[in-house]
Amino acid sequence: MSDTSRVDVLLVEDDQDDLDMILRALRKANLADRVQVARDGAEALDFVFRQGAHGGRRIEDEPKVIFLDLKLPKVGGLEVLERIKGDARTREIPVVILTSSKERADVLDGYRLGVNSYVVKPMSFAPFVEAVRELGTYWLARNQPRAVETP
């Protein structure tokens, strides 16, 4: 995918198996046409804030939703969330934490920092795929996103 094309989902995931399952579930639900993958928190921040390799993206091309893992290399998921929700330019982008962590502190921190939803990844394949399909359907087909203002 080109950095200048419109993106529906920014998928921030470093585990290849989970990444493959998420992409498979989105494809199965016909929701994977415009997915950008970031393999670590630093790459996710570069994409969202249009820096580095993603410097040419237009503000109008922000993702409709971000699926964010917590345990990421370089910059952790909670720090990514804090930066996105702490910036007026990006705070309204819906962020869904999609993680294996059931730790109460992670859940509380996620909501304190402004996450829109916190979903624990199911451990088996079929429920995992179904959970991602439901998330994709809700955030991409049913949810009404805010209108992006252009200067």
Instruction: Answer whether 1's CB lies under 8 Å from 36's CB.
Output: yes
Q: Residue 79: helix, strand or coil by DSSP?
A: helix
pTM for the whole thing? 0.87
Which domains, and CATH codes, for the chain? 9-141 (3.40.50.2300)
Which regions of the chain does DSSP assign to beta strands (E)?
9-12, 35-38, 65-68, 95-99, 117-120
126 φψ region: left (φ > 0), alpha (ψ -120 to 50), beta (else): alpha
Per-residue confidence in pLDDT tens, the chain, 151 aa: 444 456 789 999 999 998 998 888 888 887 767 889 999 999 999 999 999 888 888 766 788 899 999 999 999 999 999 999 999 989 999 999 999 889 999 999 999 999 999 999 888 888 888 888 888 888 877 877 666 554 4
pLDDT value, residue 149:
53
Residues 6 or more apart whose Cβ sits within 8 Å of residue 116: 94, 95, 96
**Residue type (1 letter), 75:** V
pLDDT value, residue 2:
41
**Residue type (1 letter), 117:** S
Paired with 67 in beta bridges are 11, 96
Q: Residue 118: helix, strand or coil by DSSP?
A: strand
Rounded distance, CA 121 to CA 29, Å? 18
